Structure 1
Amino acid sequence: MFNVSLMRWIDDRVGNLACNALAYKKRLLSLLERSKNNGALPSFKKIAVMKFFGFGSIVVASPALAALRESFPDAEILFVTFKSNKDILEILRVADRALFIDTSSLQAFTTSTLQVAATLRREKVDLALDLEFFAKFPLVLANLAGIKQSAGYYLTQEHWRRTLLDIPGSYNHYFHTKDIFLSLVYLLRTGDLYYVGFDEFRKRYKYPQIEIRSQELERVQALLRENSVDGDIIVLNPNSSVDLAPEVRKWPEERYGELADRILAENPDAHVILIGAKSEEHYVNRVRSHARNGRVLSLAGKLSLRELTALFSIASLLVTNDSGPMHLACLTDTPIVGLFFGDTPTLFAPVASRVEVVAPSLYSIPMFTVYNGKDVFAGRPAETIANVPAQTVSVEDVMQKVRALLEPAQHSNGVDEDRPTVH
């Protein structure tokens, strides 16, 4: 696979040069054309939404896509992303069509990028909606595709964004990322630079409640029966995305093992299921080795994304590092304990009716933000930073949250559960 670190390096170095050059070109053309804006709100026939990194982020963006559909009902929505995100798009069904960039190799990346740009040019797309906060690639791709207007987030340290973004949105790190994505659609729809009506607008759009297909549920249930799993299911996800400082965001593996034993000691009829991708199987098995109870099972590498969602739908609880599966579980309204060691739940907390979060109250958090490109901390590369904040969180700290959610529900966290069903 095309190395993510190399991809980010290219995006930073080459992307900055390309965006500056494109900004100069656009300024020159604007001087020559002097096109007039009559103040009318835009009307679009085709919109290309661009979101590349993290399938969990696509889940978080799903309310914005629903708002976009409602705001521009006559527009065709194309979703442009990496090929690795194909499964989550098929689950969410948030666009009319999807176009994919292949990251399996540098050659595949280059070829597929040019093909997607040619397709977007041929389709005469009116608007590129850039849902990346710091990547340069979406705006470069939009210019390659000849898309006339771009909407995205204006960050002051990248002055070329002022020129390349025809509709510059406000990034507000005091709001959840779901609402930050929604704010850009609100701006498109209303032109309200002060977001006076945004609070009412954002409350209208929630994560969809997806419908689990029978074939995936039956496959998961058969797998559980094969391993003599019955009773309550508690899922633990000890992994985090390989794209961004995974070690910093992981709770120590031995504590996950101890947590599994503690949960099972207090819930004698339950089973603990460890999950992970095929590439994470070795690490998850190592986590499993720290647990002494025989009712701990690893299904790492054995479930598709749809099957993982089916597992969440029958689970009593998910305990997880900040990661894509955490957001995926929100689609089935699974009770979630989310662990945050490098980022803040203010921006990325799971959104479901029963949620608890654990985040050390350290000045260092969040470590990685859109302002430092999410690849450095205190001037050091992210991969060199140890998971010291995670080590400050004890097993008992997490058990308190687990107990709160395993008890019969006394109240919800105020999240509106009136969500559309996606088949």
Structure 2
Amino acid sequence: MLGPSLRALRNRFPDARITLLASPAGARAAPLLACIDDVITHRATWQDASGALPLDPTREIGLVETLRGGAFDAAFIFTSFSQSPWPPAFACYLAGIPRRVGQARDFGGSLLTVRATPPPDCTHQVDRNLHLLQAIGVAVGDRDLAVAPPAEAEASADRALRRLGIAPGEPFVLVAPGASCTARRYSPSRFAQAITRLGRAVRMPIVLTGSPREATLVETIRVRARSACVRSLGGDSSVVELAAIVARARLLVGNNSGPMHLADACRCPMVILYSGTDLEEQWQPRRAPATLLRRPTPCEPCYRFECPYHMECLDIPASEVADACLDMLERTAHRARVPARIGAASSAPGS
């Protein structure tokens, strides 16, 4: 979601050294963004939604010292609609960074040297990030997500697929059943049923993938899916390898999670089980052909990590998921998909 803003910053300041301050998960995705020179990895208390991060003031003091050592000229603080810029702004203030740019409706004193008024909450996150730059006069070019997997990730993706018996250029369906919280995960049993139905109708491998912590989930679905065409990458793929695998897929099936954004960046057609945790307008794919499946509920958007109402927003029959996949495969059968790389042309959704 930050890629277009980083490209805009690079275009405005071509000789600048751009350092990304990111969570461990964000840092693992940083190699996909060609505009970054360095990464500072930090588990920030202001991003600890679960409250599980142990009390350790030295951790934040260490961040301030790291930032001070970087002798940065400016800090651009990008936040979602629900995040506050003030904690990271305070760290940057203590580090002596002279120019601190963020967007907030509430007043936070002089912690920000430039405080932009944020756009409406329903604004797409890509546009929200770019809004911050526009507020200080940075010209905005394209708004498309794009990734640039390193050569070693491309080679690793080919090796991983080859181990599953999938030759270079051979079409396959990629299924990513995981998500960062249970409120965004479609039922594993229904995933298995949908895969079973899809496997009876298509003549291509169906590949399951997930993060290391999702390996058990992936294996559970593989065992339950009664189809000889199902293969599994387990939880062995890194984010950068996954991006390269998504770029090779004929179709992605998953939840509203990271692989969905990778598919949008790679222009990979997708069918997404989009839970009611968020507004579609905030995070939905905008460039790749996409079908979003969700049942309307009075509690959406809930912004919860766990659902107390039996996941009614994802009460979608497996047959409907399989039919949506077949429809997307048919609609995009003759579509020449151009891999989205920095500077590459992109196709309009559904074209």
TM range (shorter): 0.7 to 0.9
Other-structure match for 1:221: 158
How far apart, in 1, do the equivalents of 2:56 and 2:238 lie? 24
Other-structure match for 1:8: none
- After superposition, the C-alpha distances for 1:267-290 in whole angstroms (9 at most, x for unaligned) are 1x2111111111111121112222
Asked if structure 1 preserves the Cα contact closer than 8 Å seen for 2:177 and 2:254, the reply is yes
- After superposition, the C-alpha distances for 1:80-125 in whole angstroms (9 at most, x for unaligned) are 112443331122122232222258x968975554344223224442
How far apart, in 2, do the equivalents of 1:351 and 1:212 lie? 24
Other-structure match for 2:240: 306
Q: Does 1:352 align with 2:290?
A: no
* 3-state SS of paired residue (2:135): helix
Other-structure match for 1:207: 145
Asked if structure 2 preserves the Cα contact closer than 8 Å seen for 1:127 and 1:150, the reply is yes
How does 1:96-175 map onto structure 2 within 5 Å? 96-101=37-42, 111=58, 113-133=60-80, 134-135=83-84, 136-155=86-105, 159-161=106-108, 163-169=110-116, 170-175=118-123
Closer/same/farther in 2, CA of residues 142 and 388 from structure 1, 3 Å limit: same
Aligned length: 328
Q: Give how far 1:325 is off.
A: 1.8
- After superposition, the C-alpha distances for 1:183-221 in whole angstroms (9 at most, x for unaligned) are 10111116xxxxxxxxxx6563322253562x4344333
Other-structure match for 2:348: none
Closer/same/farther in 2, CA of residues 279 and 366 from structure 1, 3 Å limit: same
Asked if structure 2 preserves the Cα contact closer than 8 Å seen for 1:335 and 1:352, the reply is no
How does 1:148-297 map onto structure 2 within 5 Å? 148-155=98-105, 159-161=106-108, 163-169=110-116, 170-189=118-137, 204-210=142-148, 213=151, 215-229=152-166, 231-241=170-180, 246-267=181-202, 269-297=203-231
Closer/same/farther in 2, CA of residues 266 and 367 from structure 1, 3 Å limit: same
Other-structure match for 1:77: 18
How far apart, in 2, do the equivalents of 1:146 and 1:77 lie? 17
- After superposition, the C-alpha distances for 1:320-355 in whole angstroms (9 at most, x for unaligned) are 111112212233221122221121221111233322
Q: Which amino acid aligns with 1:149?
A: R
* 3-state SS of paired residue (1:248): helix
Q: Percent identity?
A: 23
How far apart, in 2, do the equivalents of 1:416 and 1:297 lie? 24
Q: Which has the higher helix share?
A: 1
Other-structure match for 2:27: 86
How far apart, in 2, do the equivalents of 1:212 and 1:131 lie? 25
How far apart, in 2, do the equivalents of 1:418 and 1:83 lie? 24
How far apart, in 2, do the equivalents of 1:154 and 1:257 lie? 44
Q: Which amino acid aligns with 2:315?
A: T
Other-structure match for 2:278: 343
- After superposition, the C-alpha distances for 1:17-76 in whole angstroms (9 at most, x for unaligned) are xxxxxxxxxxxxxxxxxxxxxxxxxxxxxxxxxxxxxxxxxxx11101111222333443
Asked if structure 1 preserves the Cα contact closer than 8 Å seen for 2:182 and 2:307, the reply is no
Q: TM-score, normalised by structure 2?
A: 0.82
Closer/same/farther in 2, CA of residues 392 and 102 from structure 1, 3 Å limit: closer
* 3-state SS of paired residue (2:35): coil
Closer/same/farther in 2, CA of residues 297 and 406 from structure 1, 3 Å limit: same
Runs of 4+ in 1 over 6 A off after TM superposition: 105-109, 415-418
Q: Which runs of 5+ in 1 are unaligned?
A: 1-59, 191-200, 369-376
Q: Which amino acid aligns with 2:250?
A: S
Q: Which amino acid aligns with 1:360?
A: R
Closer/same/farther in 2, CA of residues 113 and 186 from structure 1, 3 Å limit: same
Other-structure match for 2:347: none
How far apart, in 2, do the equivalents of 1:100 and 1:418 lie? 25
How far apart, in 2, do the equivalents of 1:308 and 1:418 lie? 15
Asked if structure 2 preserves the Cα contact closer than 8 Å seen for 1:77 and 1:96, the reply is yes
* 3-state SS of paired residue (2:266): coil
Closer/same/farther in 2, CA of residues 167 and 363 from structure 1, 3 Å limit: farther
How far apart, in 2, do the equivalents of 1:416 and 1:84 lie? 24
How far apart, in 2, do the equivalents of 1:109 and 1:68 lie? 33
Closer/same/farther in 2, CA of residues 236 and 100 from structure 1, 3 Å limit: same
Q: TM-score, normalised by structure 1?
A: 0.69
Asked if structure 2 preserves the Cα contact closer than 8 Å seen for 1:206 and 1:416, the reply is no
- After superposition, the C-alpha distances for 1:281-320 in whole angstroms (9 at most, x for unaligned) are 1121112222111221221222222221221122100011
Asked if structure 2 preserves the Cα contact closer than 8 Å seen for 1:312 and 1:318, the reply is yes
* 3-state SS of paired residue (1:76): coil
How far apart, in 2, do the equivalents of 1:352 and 1:240 lie? 21
Other-structure match for 2:249: 315
Q: Give how far 1:232 is off.
A: 2.6
Other-structure match for 1:327: 261
Other-structure match for 1:402: 325
Closer/same/farther in 2, CA of residues 416 and 68 from structure 1, 3 Å limit: farther
